[in-house]
Amino acid sequence: MENKFAELRKRYEETAALGSARAVLAWDQRVTMPPGGAPGRARSMSALARVVHGKATDPEVGRLIGETWDWAQAKGPDSFEAAYLRVLKRDYDRATRLPSDFVAEMSAAASAAMAAWEAAKKNSDFPSFAPHLEKMVGFNRRQAEFLAPGEPAYDTLLDLYEPGMRRAELEPLLGELAEGMKPVIKAISESSAAVSDDTLKGDFDEKAQLALADELVRELGFDFTKGRQDRSVHPFTTGFSLSDIRITTWTMRDWLPACVYASLHECGHALYAMGAPAGFEFTPLAGGAGLGVHESQSRFWENFVGRSRPFCEWLLPRLRRHFPGKFDKTGPEELYRAVNKSGPSFIRVEADEVTYDMHIALRFRLETALLDGSLKVKDLPEAWNAGMKELFGIVPKNDAEGVLQDVHWSQGTIGYFPTYSLGNLMAAQLNEAMRADMPDMDGLIARGEFAPLLGWLREKIHVHGARYFPADLLRRATGKERDAAPFVRYIKEKYSGIYGF
C-alpha cells in the first residue's frame, strides 16, 4: 500500500503543479497583464482548466483512492495519510461530477467576466458587465446541479467555500449577528461623542504608502523571501506554493487606511498560507480549512490587532516617519479613535467593524435572489441601491461605488460572501482564547512583538492546513462551537468605550 499511496501522491503533485501554473496566469491578469491580453488569457486559462480537471478526475486516481482508503484510515483519523485521503476523496468526488467541457467553459467565462468587470468598474458601466454576470449566475446554477442534483443550490455552493456549512446553520448565525449590531449602530448614531478621522485624510504619497505597507506586513511576519506585495484593482491573496504567496493592496491618495488595512488583511491570509507544514506542499492538505477560517486570520490581524489601541501606539511613530509632518499633532488615542470611527459607508472593504457585516448581509440577500431567479441581473443595481438605503440610509452615487465594487461575482464565486462574517465570528472566538492564554497580549502588540501571536495561530490553526472541517478546527482551537456572542460582546465593549454609550 505504501507504493500505491506514493503513486497517488505523485499523480496529485503533478495536478497541483499545473494548478499552480494556472494561478500564476490568474495573478498576472489582475496585477500586470495589459487590458488587451484578456481574450488570449481566457483561452489559456480555459485550456489549463481542462487539463487540470482531466488529471484530477482520472479514473486511476479514483482506483488508487479506493485501494488505499482502508489502509490509510487504519493509521488513525488524525494521521497524515488518513487526512490526505479524506480531503482528496472529497475533492475527487466533487470534480468527477463536473464535465470537463463545463469546467473549461466556466473558466473562460470567468476570465472574460473579470476583465469586463475591471473595465465596467473603471467606467461605472454596469450594463457592459451585466451579460457576463448573467453567464456566471447561469454557470453557478449548472455547477450546483452537477454537484448535488436536487439539493438546494446555495447549500451546494456555500459548501465549496465553507466545508460542512449549510444555509440552515448560517442564517441563524447571521441573524444573531445582525440583531447584536443594531443597538450598537443606533447608540453610535445617537451619541454626542466627537470622533473624527480627519487625521487620516489629506495627500499621502503613494510610494510612501506602499513602503509603509511593506514594512507593516514584514513586522507581522510576512516572509518576503517567500512572497511579495503588489498593487491591484481589488486587494487579494493567492498562493502558487507554500513558498510563493502573493498579496496585493491598493492606495487612495486622500485616504490612508485603504492601503494600511488592505495590507494587514491580506497579510493575514498570507500568514495562514505560509504557516502550513512543509510536508503539505502540493498535497490536498496545503490549503486552508475553509474560506471562513481564512477570513478569521485576515480579520484578526486587520481588526483585532490592527485597530486595537496598543497597535495604534506602535503604528504612530511609523506614520510620522513615512509621512513627515502629517501626524506630529496626532496622539495614540486620537489615532485609535480615528481608525475606529463608525458610520454608514458605501465600500465594504472600507467599512468599520460595526457596519461591515451589514454589507455582507446585503450581498447574501442579493446573491441568493440571483441564484433562485427572484432577482434578475438587469435589476441588480436598483436592488443594491434599495438595500443600501434600507440598511445604511445612503445611496451610492454611481455603480462603481455600489454594485460594481466587489470582484467576487465576476469570478463566479457565489456563496463566498458569508465567509467574511463567519471569519469575523471565528476571529472573535480565537481572540478570546488567545487572550486567556496570553494575558500580556496588549503589551506584546504595543511593543511590536507579534511573533507570540503568530506562534499561537500557527499551533492552533495553521499547522493543520485543510486537515479538519472549519467547525472541527474551531472546536479543537477553542473548545467552543460557532457562536456570534463573542463578536457581539467585543463590539459592544470596544465601541461603548469610544462613543460613550
Q: Using CA of residue 41, residue 43, residue 44, residue 49, what is the dihedral sign? A: positive
Angle between helical axes of 100-123 and 2-31 (0-180°, round to 10) = 30
User: Among the residues of 350-399, which ranges form H helices?
Assistant: 356-372, 380-392
Ramachandran region, residue 202 (left: φ > 0; alpha: ψ -120 to 50; beta: rest): left
Angle between helical axes of 100-123 and 126-147 (0-180°, round to 10) = 150
Beta sheet of 227-231, edge-to-edge order: 227-231, 244-249, 237-241
DSSP per residue, 80-128: HHHHHHHHHHHHHHHHTTS-HHHHHHHHHHHHHHHHHHHHHHHHT-HHH
Distance in angstroms (rounded) separating the CA atoms of residues 388 and 466: 36
Q: Where are the beta strands (DSSP E) in 17-66?
A: none
The residue type found at 492 is: K
Return the residue matching grid coordinates 490568474. 26
SS3 468: coil
- Per annotation, catalytic residue among 162, 266, 295, 353: 266
Residue 440 is inside which H or E element, if any? none
Tell me if residue 266 is catalytic: yes
Distance in angstroms (rounded) separating the CA atoms of residues 248 and 235: 5
Q: Which residues contact 342 (CB under 8 A, 6 or more apart)?
A: 185, 188, 195, 352, 353, 354, 355, 495, 498, 499
**Which residues are designated catalytic?**
266
